Chains A and B, each alone.
Chain A
Amino acid sequence: MNPHPSSCSNGRSIRTRFARRFLRALKKIGSKGSSSRPSPRDISWRCRRVKIAADASMASAVGPRRVWSRTMLNMLRSRSHACLHASRLGNSRRPGADRHAVGKRKRLVLKRKLPNRLGLNQVNQLRRLVPGGEAMDLDILLDETAHYIKCLATQVKVMRSIVDYCSA
């Protein structure tokens, strides 16, 4: 019945793929930083890089099959291009700003008090949360949300285990 594959079997392969890519990216990031005690600015920069690396590796691990992964890859690509151009022009663009702005929009939406019979508020919120959700039908959106949740959970697990391993 269930068209969705079991999370275990799927998660393991996605998990492994994500883990490999993420670790590779982390290596690159780690090699860039200086070994001396990093300044807060360096740390925040690295944090952003790590976040981007996590998103990118997850999206690439999923592949272009999913709308949200495609959207995320396109977003990252365009963002990196914009960053390149911006840096060339001398502006330092913060890739995390988009997310921040999105969060603000979400908060504003929550303050509406209109009767919410069909859950339209939540649906709009969900559209903003899930990458690429703006242009999807509700049933596809829910599908994508389920997959996105699964991948996010995998991401969290992998990252946490990396952190644990590194800290141990």
Chain B
Amino acid sequence: MDLLTDRQGSVARAGDGRAIVAGRRSVAGSVSQRACTFCGSRVVLYPIADALHLVHGPVGCAGYTWDIRGALSSGPQLHRLSFSTDMREQEVIRGGEKSLAHALRVLIGRHRPACAFVYATCIVGVIGDDVGAVCRTIEAETGIPVIPVASEGFKGTKKDGYAAACGALLDLMGRPGAGGPTIPKSVNIVGDFNVAGESWLIRSYLERMGIEVVACLTGDGRVDDIQRAPRAALNLVQCAGSMTRLAKAMRDRWNIPFEQVSFIGLEDTAAALYKAAELVGDADTLARTRELVRSEMAAVKPELARLRTDLEGRRAALYVGGAFKAFSLVRALRQLGMRTVMAGTQTGGGDDYEHLKSLVDPDTIIADDTNPLELAAFLQSERVDLFIGGVKERPIAYKLGIGFCDHNHERKIGLAGFAGMVSFAREVHATVTSPVWSLMPRQRVAP
């Protein structure tokens, strides 16, 4: 593959000794699969279901992010509505503070949210709006937290948007009345977004072990729960790329230790639960954990073994948002007998890629912030049978007659935990073994 000069440091093969250049702004003209700072903030805070999420700017940013995450709520559905100040030319000329204040008054009066987040889009700072000042005014008027999220799209990468979202969450946790004494045998689930109900499943495991879940950040999130989060005894950080910053800040401020875990795949799920039991539980917790892992594993293994017989030796490529999901997927695919031949992420860091290389087989392609042409080249040269990614990656696989599994946040199928592993295996099986591939013009050569 003839890489752009500026992209040559961002693609390597495991074992070739080259470090990956990561964490940079996307190369102009490269057609990155990444979105922007706003996107990073929006996806992290989105699942908070009793908050008002107001996008301050022209209408597009709100339109593109209306109800696009399969993040479920057990109660209010306010997060699934998309609010915008719908800035027009007059506001661009005269400033948008008045219309922002008006929008907040109208929407808070109409929906009675527990708090409001105001996302700044690209032009807000450029036209000189003081979003923080408007938020303070409205907070004083309405009595609910009104929190500015500095998510101007151009200000950095998606990762900077995660940071802005973590700042907003910390702001909520630091309010008067938040926090309190530590709850024994308790955790926060940090960085699960309850896509297709996954947070509920993880919570049910922990509860069966006798561990209380104080808050899930932010899946099925509620403002009250988030404000109670400083009382947890441990933070279990799943989406490490977006939430480690928050966990570190909570450690520094409230002395809450954190552990990076994953609930994708059997091994990682079991390891996460044992870790939680070990760190906040007692002998009884550990016994219950053993029993839970044993019974859950026993329930899913026969089906996984059956599916594995058709998948053994197949070749997979994956391109996902964060590095920790990539780690888990490499292991989960191995459990199905499949080999990862290409792995990339939008937001991984240099250390993450070194770890990823250590997990995969030698020669596996590793890529940071890749693009459609690179992906298409990798899928072809590595003779891939399965591609795992999101909506923007799907047509690349399908055009080439390659199976695809959506592991992004728009999916409707829960893929976490023990039960999720079976759903994942079934989806992979359904796509990889479909008879339609035998009709396609491009026939893969057996490796």
Query: Is B one of A's binding partners?
Result: no
